[in-house]
Each structure stands twice: as structure tokens, then as C-alpha cells.
Amino acid sequence: MELRTLRYFVAVAEELHFGRAAARLHMSQPPLSRAIKQLETEFGAALFDRSSAGVGLTGAGSVLLDEARALLERADRVHARVAAAAGTATLTVGILGGGADPAAARLAGAFRGRHPRVEVRVRETGLTDPTCGLHAGLVDVALTRGPFDETGLAARELRADPVGALLRADDPLARGDRLNLADLADRRWFLFPQGTDGVWQTYWNGGAPREGPVVRAVQECRQAVLWNGTVGMTPLGHEPGRGLTVVPLVDMEPSRVLVAWRAGDANPLIRSFVRIATDAYRR
């Protein structure tokens, strides 16, 4: 039984879908299915219930999931401790600036508790780079929001936040309890600079070309609305600030909170960070 096979098993157990697990592992589905069948042969027990209704864990599979997570975490901790003893244990984390997230605070505390000798370097970025420096090779892992160009990257969704229209509190549209994108069609929006990730720009512009002032940070978005009466989108859970309000947009997909890293990066600290982040955001 190899650690790699256990990682395959954990991916399927968490996704409960072979296709999604294969995509997460950046491999095709047939070798993943073969690896799981080989694991079941080794244990002499079925680990998954497979039916037309989907994939579920068996009793044996649930036991293995707990044990596999513990083994993989132990293996990553061994790598991290050896690296720390050699003076080489550092992790550079990119964070999308503009809001305090209690789950991120839990993540920071849990990661430090698990890896007290690892030096964490933080690079906070504005809204012009949703990968927080991943594409440029400036960070090891990013705590950010999607969607963006994920070419060459891997990502795990941590949470999905509904979004709303950010408006002045005295805006006529602020009187309702919900809006559609069509209600904002004739309004000026805040925009990101030319060259900003196109997928990201399209999402935050509501899927249509817009006109309006250029912004680079969350506070600039708020000031553009406050001073110019422009509109834009923001997660519903964000405090808009004095003089502003947020009205839910019923026809917009939620904004996904993601942890992302470069595909194929075998750094055990990244794997540990992703697992700890997943736990922290599930609470």
C-alpha cells in the first residue's frame, strides 16, 4: 500500500465521484479506478458502494478514510519537520486582500499548531490578480476567490458565498430585497484594470461588458460606489461600510472561496495546508 494510492482513495472518498476525484488529482479516470480496485483487493473488502444513485463509502471505507487521513498527515509532518530541522521549511501564502474571514483565522491557528517550526510568509494582493501570484511563481499556495484562469493550477473549493449588488444606501434600487442583473444593465460599474484575468473580470462584471471607474482594491470599489454612485458586486457576507448597502442578486452564481496551488507541486506543506484549510472552512 503506497501513500500515493491512499491519496487517490481520500480524493474519491471526499468527492464521492470518480470523475471529480480524477480531475482534482489531474489524472484520467481509468487508472484511478484501477488503483481503487487494487486497494480493495489488498484489503479484501469493498471500500465504496457503487450504484446508479452514486458513490458512497462502505463501513470499511469509512474506517480507512480516518486512518488514511491520519497516515498522510503524519507523512507530511515528517517531511515538514525534517525540512524545518534543515532550516528550509517555509511556505509562501498568497491572500486576496480586502476582508477579514473568521475561517482564515481558524486556518492560520490550525496550521501554526500543526507546523509550529514552519515560517509562513504572506503576500497580500489586490483585485487585479486573483491567483495572488501563483501564475507568476511568487507564492506556493493561494487563499482566494474564483473564478479565474486555472491553467496549470489545482484548486479546492472551500465555500460558496452568495453575492449581491453593492449600492449607495440612498440608491432607488436599494429599496428592494432582491435584484436581477437586468436591473443594473444601464448603470456604470466599477471595473478592473486592462490585463486583469479575463475570467475573473467577466464574473465580477456580471457577464457583460461594462463602463465605469477602474479600481484595484476592495476599498476602492466601495469608494467608487459611495462617491460616484456606480454599482458592482460583492459577497453578501462582507460588511459594505457606512452609506452603502448590499442587495442580493438572484441570478448570479455564488463566489467560490478557493485554495489554489500549482498543479503537480509535491511540496508536503502545500498538501497539509489544503487539508487544514478544508477542515477550517467546514466548521
All structural domains of the chain, each given as residue ranges with its CATH number in brackets, are 3-86 (1.10.10.10), 89-157+256-283 (3.40.190.10), 163-253 (3.40.190.10)
Residue of 103, 104, 199 lying closest to 147 (CA atoms): 199
Question: By the 8 A CB rule, do 228 and 168 touch?
Answer: no
CA-based radius of gyration for the chain: 22
Tens of pLDDT, residue by residue over 138-151, are: 999 999 999 999 99
256 forms beta bridges with 160
Q: What is the pLDDT of residue 89?
A: 79
Neighbours of 51 (CB within 10 A): 8
Question: By the 8 A CB rule, do 247 and 166 touch?
Answer: no
C-alpha cell at position 173: 434600487
Q: What is the pLDDT of residue 131?
A: 95
Question: By the 8 A CB rule, do 154 and 263 touch?
Answer: yes
Low-confidence spans in the chain with pLDDT less than 70: 79-81, 83-88, 98-100
Q: What is the pLDDT of residue 264?
A: 84
Q: Are strands 90-96 and 141-145 parallel, antiparallel or unpaired?
A: parallel
Tens of pLDDT, residue by residue over 18-28, are: 988 888 787 88
Give the largest CA-CA distance in the chain: 68
Q: What is the pLDDT of residue 84?
A: 63
Q: What is the pLDDT of residue 114?
A: 87
Q: What is the pLDDT of residue 85?
A: 64
Q: What is the pLDDT of residue 15?
A: 85
Task: Indicate the helix (H) or strand (E) that contains 91.
Answer: strand 90-96
